Amino acid sequence: MTEPVFTPRVFSGIQPSGNLTLGNYLGALKRFANSQNAGVESIFCMVDLHAITVWQEPGKLRRATRELAAGFIASGIDPQKSILFNQSQVPEHTQLAWVFNCVARMGWMKRMTQFKDKAGKNAEQASLGLFGYPALMAADILVYHATHVPVGEDQKQHLELTRDIAIKFNNDYGVDFFPITEPVIEGAATRVMSLRDGTKKMSKSDPSDMSRINLTDDSDTIAKKIRKAKTDPEPLPLDATGLENRPEARNLVNIYAALSDQSVDQVMRDAGGKSFSEFKPMLADLAVDKLSPISTEMGRLMQDVCEIDRILAEGAERARAIATPILQKTYEIAGMVGARV
């Protein structure tokens, strides 16, 4: 049988579960803008249904969703070129997720490290949604027949599960219907680490605000957080090999490389041998230079939430035009009876 050819299409999402961080920007948003600007059809989603797998206060969720939309646009996503919307406006995501709940196996879900991390010791009290999260994520991607998914390193396991679900669906029904999606995890900042602990991922939900840079932080706050970032007492090594086993130093160098669009080797040519008291101000200046226009633009966009809502509604309509026929075809393959809409 000849392999079906899927048109290249990018999909990725971010949860509106709090302030956007530098990790979200470098691991996701900045790379989303690159894929859009390379001319690939790109679909970006604020995954609000994923966010409620842990408790979200409704008013805060609404604000976070709009602020995230502003973050996407301020980071270079053009809602005319790309499709930008929030997940709950496109019911095909959850409809396909149900089918995938019936394809995925309990054992696969139990192996997901993010569930174990987020549920902690109290897994019995975690929501069923948190457990089933990866099946909804597979549906988010496959309801558009997306071929490429730019994400940070932390999402690698979920993307492998997305591939397993597509393969099992195709095998079970004897079709070549869903593409086997490629994760795109590349660049110096696929895993930005906490500023307080170089072995922990920078995360919006970390209780310590000093652990992360938020896209809404002002210049003084960014500079202060970098100044206070944990480091070891040694100066930077002379080349990148010397960064091994120095997680905090490596993290700051990776951030510098990603913000300045350089390789780690290039950064080390300029910064190798410098003390942190020299390197941190260089990094703070660069971070302020790159991030403050984004935060200013987010503030401006948030002045007009009606316009943000209009953009999201229009994006949802364009998304549904792709998702509806794919869901209908899935139902038909699975043997559901019903008129096509």
The residue range among 188-196, 214-222, 236-244, 307-315 that interacts with ligand AQP, by the rule CB under 6 A, is 188-196
217, 295 in Cβ contact below 8 A? yes
Q: 81-108 burial by CB neighbour count: b if 16+ within 10 A, else e?
A: ebbbbbbbbbebbebbbebbeebbeeeb
Residue 45 contacts ligand AQP per CB under 6 A: no
- Active-site option among 81, 168, 204, 230: 204
Residue from the set 27, 187, 237, 315 that interacts with ligand AQP by CB under 6 A:
27
Residue 283 contacts ligand AQP per CB under 6 A: no
- The yes-or-no answer on residue 224 being catalytic is no
Joined tokens for residue 282: 């260089």
Name the minimum Å distance from CB 21 to ligand AQP: 6
Residues 317, 320, 326, CA angle at the centre, nearest 5°? 165
- The yes-or-no answer on residue 118 being catalytic is yes
Joined tokens for residue 121: 């010791």
Residue from the set 9, 10, 11, 17 that interacts with ligand AQP by CB under 6 A:
17
Residue 196 contacts ligand AQP per CB under 6 A: no
Residue 24 contacts ligand AQP per CB under 6 A: yes
Strands 41-46 and 9-14 turn out to be: parallel
Residue from the set 9, 10, 11, 15 that interacts with ligand AQP by CB under 6 A:
15
Joined tokens for residue 58: 């409704």
User: Please, which residue, 14 or 308, has the CB nearer to ligand AQP?
Assistant: 14
User: Please, which residue, 213 or 272, has the CB nearer to ligand AQP?
Assistant: 213
- The yes-or-no answer on residue 274 being catalytic is no
Residue 137 contacts ligand AQP per CB under 6 A: no
Residue from the set 151, 223, 288, 311 that interacts with ligand AQP by CB under 6 A:
151
Distance CA 192, CA 59 (A): 29
A 10 A CB-CB count for 341 gives 7
23, 203 in Cβ contact below 8 A? yes
Residue 23 contacts ligand AQP per CB under 6 A: yes
In the sheet that holds 9-14, the strands lie side by side as: 83-86, 41-46, 9-14, 148-150, 182-184
Residue 205 contacts ligand AQP per CB under 6 A: yes
By the criterion CB under 6 A, which residues form the site for ligand AQP? 14-15, 17-18, 21, 23-24, 27-28, 151-152, 154-155, 190-192, 201-205
